[in-house]
């Protein structure tokens, strides 16, 4: 395992910045959410999302800048196909706007669906810029399981779940899910070299389980429809993406 190619100092810098900044806003340390709620709804939603994801993005930008001084990186926003990444992102956006999201802001469900899904996608992009755009690149030369184990553990620690009232069992389940998610989304990143494609799979997890903007606004059946349609189409796109990359690689040899 090529640990000599890994800078643990860069990882620590990324982790500290990501954790401190993101959790200041996630736990509302300075109690600014009450003031933000005075803003128009769509601005409140987007600002809240951007603030919570800002730590990972800031930490990743700094860490990637430092990483690029020592070696090139392969994973980028669009990866090897801008059009395929945008198409993948458009699928859940269209689905959620069509279905609509009930909300406490008394907004039209379809309009709120658009705001919520765009805000969530931005959030997922900010996170994925850190987990895949930086950390997976930092650990690129490691064999798969050490690599995804480290990413999953760092991802878990960033959430600070162990400081909440979650039980030991909940924390163990969450660790396992973060490791599995790191492997699964990591495979997408390896195939496409795209942060946007990775963010799409992160997005579906947010819709199904965690996202406060969406989870109570659609029912289980609607979630399953979004999951089923999105994942089936995404896998077809990723498969074509892999074939395209293989052809390009063959032509260049």
Task: Please write the tens of the pLDDT for every residue from 159-215.
Answer: 988 888 888 999 999 999 999 999 999 999 999 999 999 999 999 999 988 787 887
Residue partners of 75: CB distance under 8 A and separation at least 6: 132, 133, 136, 137, 189, 193, 194, 195
Considering only CA atoms, which of 248, 1, 247 is closest in space to residue 146? 1
Residue 141 has pLDDT above 70, yes or no: yes
**pLDDT per residue as tens digits for the range 213-245:** 887 899 999 999 999 999 999 999 999 999 999
What predicted TM-score, i.e. pTM, was given to this entire model? 0.93
> What is residue 1's predicted lDDT score, i.e. its pLDDT?
53
Give residue 15's domain range: 3-252
Number of domains in the chain: 1
Judge whether residue 92 has pLDDT over 60: yes
């Amino acid at each position: 395992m090529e640990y000599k190619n890994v800078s643990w100092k860069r990882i620590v810098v990324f982790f500290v910045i990501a954790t401190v900044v993101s959790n200041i806003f996630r736990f509302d340390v300075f109690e600014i959410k009450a003031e933000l709620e005075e803003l128009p709804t769509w601005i409140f939603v987007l600002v809240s999302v951007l603030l919570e994801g800002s730590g990972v993005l800031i930490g990743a930008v700094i860490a990637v800048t430092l990483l690029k001084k020592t070696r090139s990186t392969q994973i980028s926003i669009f990866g090897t196909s801008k059009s395929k990444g945008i198409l993948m992102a458009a699928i859940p956006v269209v689905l959620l706007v069509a279905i609509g999201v009930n909300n406490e802001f008394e907004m039209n469900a379809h309009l709120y669906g658009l705001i919520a899904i765009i805000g969530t996608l931005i959030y997922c992009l900010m996170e994925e810029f850190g987990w895949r755009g930086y950390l997976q690149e930092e650990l690129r030369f490691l064999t798969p399981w050490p690599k995804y184990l480290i990413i999953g553990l760092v991802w878990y620690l960033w959430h600070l779940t162990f400081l909440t009232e979650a039980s030991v069992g909940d924390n163990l389940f969450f660790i396992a899910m973060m490791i599995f998610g790191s492997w699964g989304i990591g495979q997408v990143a390896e195939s496409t070299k795209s942060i946007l494609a990775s963010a799409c799979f992160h997005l579906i997890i947010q819709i199904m389980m965690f996202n406060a903007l969406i989870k109570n606004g659609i029912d289980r059946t609607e979630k399953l429809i979004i999951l089923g349609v999105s994942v089936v189409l995404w896998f077809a796109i990723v498969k074509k993406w892999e074939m395209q990359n293989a052809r390009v690689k063959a032509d260049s040899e």
